[in-house]
Amino acid sequence: MQKAIRDYRGGKFPSIRKAAIHYKVDFTTLSRRLRGTKPAQEAHPESALLTPVQEEAIVQLCLRFDSWGLPLKFAYVRGLAYHMQHAEKRRQPGKHWISRFLNCHPILACKIASRIDRQRAQADDTKVLAEFFQLVNTPPKKCGTTLINFL
């Protein structure tokens, strides 16, 4: 939208409609913005659930947990949004809040978890893992003159 406004005002396009078609933005929205109408987020900042700083904190937390291999569930992110608000004007995030939040922050993506493969799940047995680490931590055994190492 900003590029369309800049290029139209710069004279690159002879009409608003041509700029809208070139940048694939809505003609009506572009013409309103050229007349000075602000986007809803800027026009009514008091209606936003979170401040930009709070949103950025949630994004950074999501990225940090993801780097640890622990992606956050939608319910947890919605709970964060609820508890980050001021206590006086706290309200529950709406039904589609998380999808709008993800659209505003393209660095975040959602992925539906898949079931773990059966062989992999069976290999994740604590008894098997304990036996393996016991073998690894056991000092080498001497058999006659040769040394057997289990590593």
Closest C-alpha among 112, 110, 74, 80 to residue 95: 74
| CA atoms of 42 and 151, how far apart (whole Å) | 62
Tens digit of pLDDT per residue, the chain (151 long)? 889 999 999 999 999 999 999 999 999 999 999 998 887 767 766 767 888 899 999 999 999 988 887 888 889 999 999 998 888 788 888 899 999 899 888 888 877 666 667 766 666 777 877 887 788 776 656 555 544 444 4
| CA atoms of 87 and 40, how far apart (whole Å) | 24
| CA atoms of 47 and 91, how far apart (whole Å) | 11
Q: Give the DSSP letter of residue 46.
A: G
CB pairs under 8 A, 24+ apart, for 16-23?
Answer: none
pTM: 0.55
Q: What residues contact residue 55 under an 8 Å CB cut-off, 6+ apart?
A: 101, 104, 105
| CA atoms of 102 and 74, how far apart (whole Å) | 10
Strand segments, DSSP code E, in 24-98 are none
Q: Give the DSSP letter of residue 11.
A: T
Strand segments, DSSP code E, in 5-61 are none
